[in-house]
Amino acid sequence: MRVQVTLRGAIAGNDQPQQRMTVHLPWGATVEQLLAQLSIPSEDVQMALVNGSPVARTAILNQGDRVILAGASKAAV
């Protein structure tokens, strides 16, 4: 299945405010499995939203879901 993912904050990388991508996952995959596939440590994610609602890492994803993963903003130096 495919889900649309938006990364925000520090986990977006490359000094971007956000990064968008389509991710292919097996049916029945969870948010935690999505994080593993993207090589994002769970502790780096402050908030996970699926279709606009906050969810636990154990939430099961469905075809076409829109996932937003937000990490802490990078501190200005």
Give 47-62 pLDDT, tens digit per residue: 999 999 999 999 999 9
Which pair of structure tokens corresponds to residue 8? Answer: 């925000």
pLDDT at 17 over 50: yes
The vertex-46 CA angle with 14 and 22, nearest 5°, equals 55
β-strand partners of 5: 21, 67
* Any domain includes 44: yes
Does the pLDDT value for residue 35 go beyond 80? Answer: yes
Q: Is residue 12 classed as helix, strand or coil in its secondary structure?
A: helix
- Count of domains for the chain: 1
Residue 50 pLDDT: 98
Nearest in space to 37 (alpha carbons), one of 27, 45, 28, 29? 29
Is 5 in contact with 22 (CB distance < 8 Å)?
Answer: yes
Output the pTM of the full model.
0.89
Q: Which residue has the higher pLDDT, 14 or 18?
A: 18
Q: What is the pLDDT of residue 13?
A: 80
What is the share, in percent, of the chain residues with pLDDT greater than 70? 92
d(CA 30, CA 16): 26
Domain assignment of residue 75, yes or no: no
Q: The CATH number of the domain where 21 resides is what?
A: 3.10.20.30
